[in-house]
Structure 1
Amino acid sequence: MKNLKAVDFFCSGGGMSYGIQQSGIQILAGIDFDENCRETYEANIQGAQFILADIFELKETDLETKLSLQKNDDDLILIGCSPCQFWSIINTDKTKSAKSKNLLIEFSRFVKYFRPGYVVVENVPGVLRRKEESGLNEFIGWLSENGYGEPHFKVHNVNDYGVPQSRRRFTLIASRVCQDEIKPLKEHGPKKLVKDVLGVGNGFPMIEAGHRDETDFLHTVPAISEINRKRLKKIRKDGGNRLDFADDPELQLRCFVGKDESFKDTFGRLWWDRPAPTITTKFSSISNGRFVHPFEDRALSIREGATLQSFPLTYKFKGTSIANIARMIGNAVPPKYAKAIGEAIIQKHNNAV
């Protein structure tokens, strides 16, 4: 049997590629329009090409030539995990991300041209809620009418797949090779919690806000102001939030006066005995969600955020700034979830061939 191989569109820093590779599938290439991702991708995804390209301008024939791809190849997997801010439920300005709403439609061009054995799409749940507008309805219809059986498309929580984080993701897996539904393989045993991966016992020495780690481990955390230091000191260990300093007139934020019920996760600490909340691109900031360390008075470090996304401790992140690397980590598909997808495809493929 030939080995399965994959092309990862919108590969970013390689979370999906790494997990798929760990499952035993060869990664031919990762495609992204952000040059900042190249060094991280190439440092971790062995044997794969990084292709710098904007999918709106990339031609199917160019990719065919560059990677020597064949049409109707039963062993080929095309993966599309497009940036998804436009479809996110988070109430942000959508003008910057408006172009991204058509990325699924652009990705489907390549699927229709190559007709690979397998197709994987991963995105925010919002793409399913608005499946007409996002192009998902048309894409699923095309897959069903062109030999891809009944595609699996559902929202999963990655915490069910070995990731120590509660993160809901839309996932589509379709196959032209086997007609059985392919679902990511769940991990057996207890679900992973923050205490299973963070803390001194898991290799994370105690550090102060502003600590810089110049090694590849990147246990680096941004500095905070003196008033924010005071706020964090007042927040209960293990799950406290901004309400713990709300009655202190010096520390209470004016924007929250009389609004105790809104944005309670702001300045919130993680709980040791729960999965982390969704790790966003702003996880290194104490004011952008529940991203304060459960015990220490600081935000999560770069390596801690990556670990909660299930990147291995040896994964090398290259970037020009903390914010740049945090964005790459927050946008990533958790590698353990990607591995669960890859293992499910291999299992069905072996039975079908």
Structure 2
Amino acid sequence: MKPKTPRISAVDLFCGVGGLTHGLVRSGVDVRAGIDLDPSCRYPYEANNSAVFVERDVNEVTPAEIKSYVGGRKGYSLLAGCAPCQPFSTYSQSGRSKKRGLDWQLVSKFGELVSQVQPDLVTMENVPQLQDHEVFEQFLGNLHGYSVSASVVECIKIGVPQSRKRLVVIASKLGALEIEAVGKKGNSVRTVRQEIADLPPIAAGEKHADDPLHAASSLSEVNMKRIRASKPGGTWRDWDPELLAACHRKTTGATYPSVYGRMEWDAPAPTITTQCFGYGNGRFGHPEQDRAISLREAAMLQTFPRDYKFLADDETVTFSRLGRLIGNAVPVRLGEVIGEILVEHVRKAEKGTLRPISEELSGRLF
């Protein structure tokens, strides 16, 4: 008999289109609300999740507002989220110094809300580079009284079909975290083939009649020649010289072998970024069709369900907007694994089998 799932009520800060929320819900967490500044996230968030979308700058969110969703309920409270990580990203070089302070401020705000709300459970997901900055230490400083574990997760080890690393923090006031349990999950590595091979073929510049998100960006004549000359897993070095771009002819171009590349069927995808719909932006070429991956394929490689709704019926496909929403999302499977850890942790707390926090041993989650 499957054990009863404990009641965990959550608020998802910086919720985006709902990747973390959807994963947490799959694990049995009751996400009550998602908060995000971007109005483009409202439809996909609410169309796929039984939670309210609050369009708000997190800097303006009050502890009382969060408590209105998770406070005073039977069970346990969770504050979750992923503060925007652009100042740390290697894919976002322009304007970094200007945005850096603003986005670091959001990490600090997350920590302040934890300190003020005092939820039973906390989880934060972000880029690995965050742990090397003082703002991360400040965030951890707001977790006084919690059992805390932080680790860099290789997403391919938990069933996400892409080479993506993320920093995950989990904290609990219920007792010491059982950090050994996660490594026993034994997920096999999923591949591009397993995730997207059964989608119907489309050409560059086309979208499928039954799924407007299964749309591929157009290719210029020269890029069509380039992708036809590209091998799965190969590089632009496989091309004839006349196809090389000017940047490839420079010495600095040698450090970017994966641009204009095709994915491999039987390997994980590269990290899905906000520019994943563009063939020239990374190894985002389809393994065999002469086009970049479609927006639907990108979403599925982010482990969103195939039927996850990103567009209302009256909306049109905008590659830059949808690419941003998909690329910035927390992979659903990562959210699900985090939720599974939290649910199992609460079960043990209810059984009285957790060590007190004062006796916690140091360790890693993954």
TM-score, structure 2 length as denominator?
Answer: 0.87
Q: Which of residues 87, 90, 99 is equivalent to 1:97?
A: 99
- Amino acid in structure 1 at the alignment position of 2:19: G
Distance 1:2 1:184, change over 3 A: closer
Out of 304, 308, 311, the residue aligned to residue 304 of structure 2 is 311
What is the CA distance between 1:182 and its match in structure 2?
Answer: 4.7
Q: CA 1:22/1:298 → structure 2, altered by over 3 Å: closer, same or farther?
A: same
Q: Is the CA contact 2:161–2:302 (under 8 Å) kept in the aligned structure 1?
A: yes
SS of residue paired to 1:97 = helix
- Distance, in Å, in 1 between the alignment partners of 2:91 and 2:39 is 26
Identity %: 36
Task: Specify whether residues 345 and 182 from structure 1 end up closer, same or farther in structure 2 by C-alpha distance, changes over 3 A only.
Answer: farther
Q: Which runs of 5+ in 1 are unaligned?
A: none
Kept in 2, the 8 Å contact 1:77–1:119? The answer is yes
**Take 1:167 and 1:351, find their aligned partners in 2: how far apart are those partners?**
30
Q: Does residue 267 of structure 2 align to residue 269 of structure 1?
A: no
Counterpart residue number, 2:79: 78
Equivalent residue for 2:285, pick from 284, 292, 295: 292
Deviation at 1:167, TM superposition (A): 0.2
CA distance in 2: counterparts of 1:95 and 1:105, whole angstroms = 17
Q: Secondary structure at the match of 2:157?
A: helix
Distance 2:162 2:6 in 1: 35
Q: Which amino acid aligns with 2:71?
A: L
Q: TM-score with structure 1 length normalisation?
A: 0.90
| Superposed displacement of residue 218, structure 1 | 1.9
| AA matched with 2:57 | D
**Is 1:69 equivalent to 2:71 in the alignment?**
yes
**Distance apart, 1:68 and its partner CA:** 6.3
The answer as to whether partners of 1:217 and 1:314 remain within 8 angstroms in 2 is: no
SS of alignment partner, residue 170 of structure 1: strand
Q: Is this contact kept in 2: 1:163–1:336, CA < 8 A?
A: yes
Deviations for 1:83-119, whole angstroms, at most 9, x for unmatched residues?
A: 1011223460204532112111111121111111100
- The offset of 1:188, in angstroms, is 2.3
Q: What is the aligned partner in structure 2 of residue 281 from structure 1?
A: 274
- Aligned-pair CA distance for 1:214: 4.8
Aligned match for 2:186, one of 170, 184, 188: 188
Q: 1:351 Cα deviation (Å)?
A: 0.8
More helix by share: 2
Deviation digits for residues 289-343 of structure 1, max 9, x if unmatched? 1100111111000111011111111111126512211111111111111100001
Q: Which secondary structure does the structure 2 equivalent of 1:78 belong to?
A: strand
Aligned partners of 1:261 and 1:185: how far apart in 2?
39
User: What is the aligned partner in structure 2 of residue 148 from structure 1?
Assistant: 146
User: In the TM superposition, what whole-angstrom CA distance separates every residue of 1:177-217 from its partner, at most 9, and x where no partner exists?
Assistant: 12124578454242111121122xx2x11211001235446
Q: Which residue of 2 aligns with 1:174?
A: 171
Q: Secondary structure of the equivalent of 1:332?
A: coil
With 211-220 and 107-116 compared, the bigger mean Cα shift is at 211-220
210-219 or 51-60: bigger deviation: 210-219
Structure 1 position 127 matched with structure 2 position 135: no
1:255 equivalent in structure 2? 247
Deviation at 1:64, TM superposition (A): 3.3
C-alpha contact (below 8 Å) 1:122/1:170 kept by paired residues: yes
CA distance in 2, matches of 1:184, 1:84: 28
- Counting only pairs closer than 5 Å after superposition, residues 97-246 of structure 1 correspond to structure 2 as 97-98=99-100, 99-130=102-133, 132=134, 135-143=135-143, 145=144, 147-149=145-147, 151-182=148-179, 185=182, 187-199=185-197, 202=198, 204-216=199-211, 218-236=213-231, 238-245=232-239
CA spacing shift, 1:184–1:313, aligned 2, 3 Å: farther
Amino acid at match of 2:172: S
Task: Report the Cα offset of residue 268 of structure 1.
Answer: 0.6
Question: What secondary structure, in the 3-state scheme, does the structure 2 residue paired with 1:77 have?
Answer: strand
Determine the structure 1 residue equivalent to 2:357.
none
The CA RMSD over aligned residues, in Å, is 2.0
- In structure 1, the partner of 2:356 is none
Give the Cα separation in 1 of the matches to 2:250 and 2:319: 34
**In 2, distance between residues paired with 1:266 and 1:152?**
36
**Partners of 2:70 and 2:78 within 8 A in 1:** no
Give the letter for the 1:177 counterpart: L
Taking structure 1 as reference, are residues 184 and 242 closer, same or farther at Cα in structure 2, changes over 3 Å only?
Answer: farther
Amino acid at match of 2:233: G
Distance 1:114 1:281 in 2: 32
Report how far residue 256 of structure 1 moved.
Answer: 1.4
The total of aligned residue pairs comes to: 338
Structure 2: gaps spanning 5 or more residues: 351-366
Query: Residue 58 of structure 1: CA displacement?
Result: 2.0
User: Shift of residue 239 of structure 1?
Assistant: 1.3
